[in-house]
């Protein structure tokens, strides 16, 4: 006789195999029923339990949101039901404007609030340069949290209050100190990563899978994703790409054409704002790159 279905949350994923945490705190290694049940970390799911360690994932509950990364060849979903996206950058080494802009655009397109965490602020010699690079994002209203992962007081007073009672997706390129920040807010994270990787990957893969961690001393969860050097958004429609550039909204109403792409159309309110210095040219250049990548992905 089959056991009644159980409910749980996906806390780690590798391919189409998942670790799901049940309400009682137990974790089951799951595989999906059918090709449609492709889950992401953060998903709430229904399970059919098989024994004490395994289960079959039978359904995914409706999501508040889902975030993807994509390139010319494939699209990968990696986090669902998040309240905010924290993009970690550092004073040094220099962070990528392109990658930061893409992460913010992906968050806005999904209707998720983005924040920027500027790490390594104790390296004061390069701090002014980092502030200058981040000023366009501050001007867009993006909150910038300045911390040092090596300072417990900095983590306690600046970072943790923003994690309380939220599910936060942590993103960042390699060498920004994201793992150090994660271990500062979830001390057991590194200890959990190795057994988890071995259980899911069976020694065949070296990439650490995305994983959800509970904050130890307060309500809140952190979803950690492996460090990225590229963040494609070709899965987004042109309308969704535009949502990733909220600064366009104030000027698009002046566009001559209702379906203006803000590329080279005459009487474009966005292009006029760009020419008048009201829109950062690097942001508009990123917007055009995303449109080009979208077009290339269709061919």
CA 157 to chain centre: 23
Task: Indicate the helix (H) or strand (E) that contains 272.
Answer: helix 269-275
What pLDDT does 148 receive? 95
Return the domain boundaries, the chain: 6-60, 66-224, 238-298
Q: What is the mean pLDDT of the chain?
A: 88
Whether the predicted pLDDT of 134 surpasses 60: yes
**Of residues 194 and 167, which shows the higher confidence score?**
167
Q: Which CATH superfamily is domain 6-60 in?
A: Nucleic acid-binding proteins (2.40.50.140)
Topology of domain 238-298, per CATH?
A: Ribonucleotide Reductase Protein R1; domain 1 (1.10.40)
pLDDT-derived band at 195 (thresholds 50, 70, 90) equals very low
Distance (Å, whole) CA 266 – CA 271: 9
Tell me which architecture the domain covering 66-224 has in CATH: 3-Layer(aba) Sandwich (3.40)
Instruction: Please state, for a pLDDT cut of 90, what percent of the chain lies above it.
Output: 68
Whether the predicted pLDDT of 205 surpasses 60: no
Mean pLDDT on 156-166? 95
Whether the predicted pLDDT of 4 surpasses 60: yes
pLDDT in tens, 13-50: 887 889 999 988 899 999 887 767 789 999 999 999 98
Task: Indicate the helix (H) or strand (E) that contains 182.
Answer: helix 178-185
Cα dihedral sign for 275, 280, 284, 285?
Answer: positive
């Amino acid at each position: 006789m089959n056991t009644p279905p159980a409910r749980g949350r996906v806390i780690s994923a590798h391919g189409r195999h998942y670790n799901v945490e049940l309400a009682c705190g137990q974790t089951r290694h799951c595989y999906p029923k059918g090709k449609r049940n492709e889950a992401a970390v953060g998903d709430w799911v229904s399970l059919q339990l098989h024994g004490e360690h395994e289960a079959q994932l039978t359904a995914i509950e409706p999501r508040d949101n889902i975030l993807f990364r994509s390139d010319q060849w494939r699209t990968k979903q990696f986090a669902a039901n998040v309240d905010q996206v924290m993009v970690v950058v550092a004073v040094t080494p220099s962070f990528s404007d392109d990658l930061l802009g893409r992460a913010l655009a992906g968050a806005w397109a999904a209707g998720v609030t983005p924040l920027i965490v500027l790490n390594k602020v104790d390296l004061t010699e390069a701090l002014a340069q980092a502030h200058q690079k981040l000023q366009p994002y501050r001007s867009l209203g993006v909150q910038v949290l300045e911390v040092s992962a090596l300072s417990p007081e900095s983590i306690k007073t600046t970072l943790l209050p923003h994690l309380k009672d939220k599910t936060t997706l942590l993103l960042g390129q390699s060498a920004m100190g994201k793992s150090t920040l994660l271990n500062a807010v979830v001390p057991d994270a590194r200890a959990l990563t190795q057994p988890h990787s071995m259980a899911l990957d069976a020694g065949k893969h070296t990439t650490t899978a995305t994983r959800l961690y509970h904050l130890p001393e307060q309500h809140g969860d952190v979803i950690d994703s492996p460090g990225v050097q590229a963040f494609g958004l070709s899965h987004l429609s042109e309308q969704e790409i535009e949502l990733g550039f909220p600064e366009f909204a104030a000027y698009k109403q002046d566009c001559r054409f209702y379906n203006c792409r803000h590329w080279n159309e005459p009487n474009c309110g966005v292009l006029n704002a760009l020419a008048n210095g009201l829109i950062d040219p690097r942001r508009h250049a990123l917007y055009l790159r995303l449109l080009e990548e979208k077009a290339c992905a269709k061919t």
